[in-house]
Amino acid sequence: MTSPISAIMSSFPTSGVGTDMSVGTSTTTPAQGTGGTDFASVLASSIDGLQATQSHADSLAIQASTGDLKDVSDYMIASNEASLATQMTVAIKNKAVDAFNQIMGMPV
Amino acid sequence: MGVFDTLGISASGLLAHRKWLDAVSDNIANINTATPTSQSAFKERYIEAQAVDYGSGDGGVRVATAQFGSGEGRVVYEPNNPLADKNGNVRYPDIDLGDQMAQLIMAQRGYQANLSVIDRATKTYQAALQLGKG
């Protein structure tokens, strides 16, 4: 029931990128941003979580085709969750690439 | 607690209602099962549902246990039945088919309700992921 994709959201507030982006955090000092995890590792861990969700759905698909599946809804919900997690990871990735492109497009 | 908790919670509802459907189908399947009077009749199956607290657990529902009805049943005079005792009696389960059909409808509707929650939650999550696009 615990979706591995939650690792992304829980890791955001502790990461340097997350604290620097968030506006309302008055208690955290800006110097904390250097010690936190960078965005690349956050993205990597989120993709790992996505991989786990998809492999769970895949194993249930194999069970469905071999007739070992205990409950039909198990597979449908797992594939639904994998699809949603993929959409969410892609959305976060697109936002990050957009931000990177905007910074790269800055005239210096 | 994950991001897509609703899916897991509704999945537990689906599982509970499927087990209820299983229990009802078991009861209906054995509604004409005769036993000798020396043995107990088929016992009606009940599903005991229990809430999983959202604060301390994952939320949703789980089937705590299956309860069984009385094995006394009803004694029917059927001298031609090979299971009959010397008085010509056999034991049938005391299950009301109308009650089982009503439970069948409730279990089916509950299953459908959980399915529509999953459908609606998926659409909601997808709408949230469209934020800021375009």
Per residue in B17-42, pLDDT (tens digit) is 999 999 999 999 999 999 999 999 99
N-term to C-term CA, chain A? 49
Give the per-residue pLDDT at A3. Answer: 45
Assign residue B88 a region (left: φ > 0; alpha: ψ between -120 and 50; beta: otherwise): left
Q: Nearest-CA residue of chain B relative to A8?
A: B3
Give the per-residue pLDDT at A45. Answer: 85
DSSP state of B90: E
DSSP B5-69: HHHHHHHHHHHHHHHHHHHHHHHHHTTT--EETTSPPPPPEEEEEEEPPTTTS--SEEEEEEEE-
Per the structure block, which two tokens stand in for B7? 């899916």
A104: contact with B, CB 8 A cutoff = no
- % of chain B exceeding 70 in pLDDT: 97
Cβ-nearest to B3 among A6, A73, A77: A6
Query: What average pLDDT does the structure give for chain A?
Result: 74
**ipTM value:** 0.71
Residues of B in contact with A80 (CB under 8 A): 7, 118, 122
Q: Which of B36, B43, B131, B31 is nearest to B87 (CA)?
A: B36
**Amino acid found at B78:** E
Average pLDDT for A35-59: 85
Residues 6-65 (A) with a CB less than 8 A from some CB of B: 6, 8-9
Contact A80, B3 (CB under 8 A): no
pLDDT at B3 over 80: no
pTM of the model: 0.74
Question: Are residues B2 and A87, on separate chains, in Cβ contact within 8 Å?
Answer: no
Closest-CA distance of chain B to residue A68, Å:
17
pLDDT at B65 over 80: yes
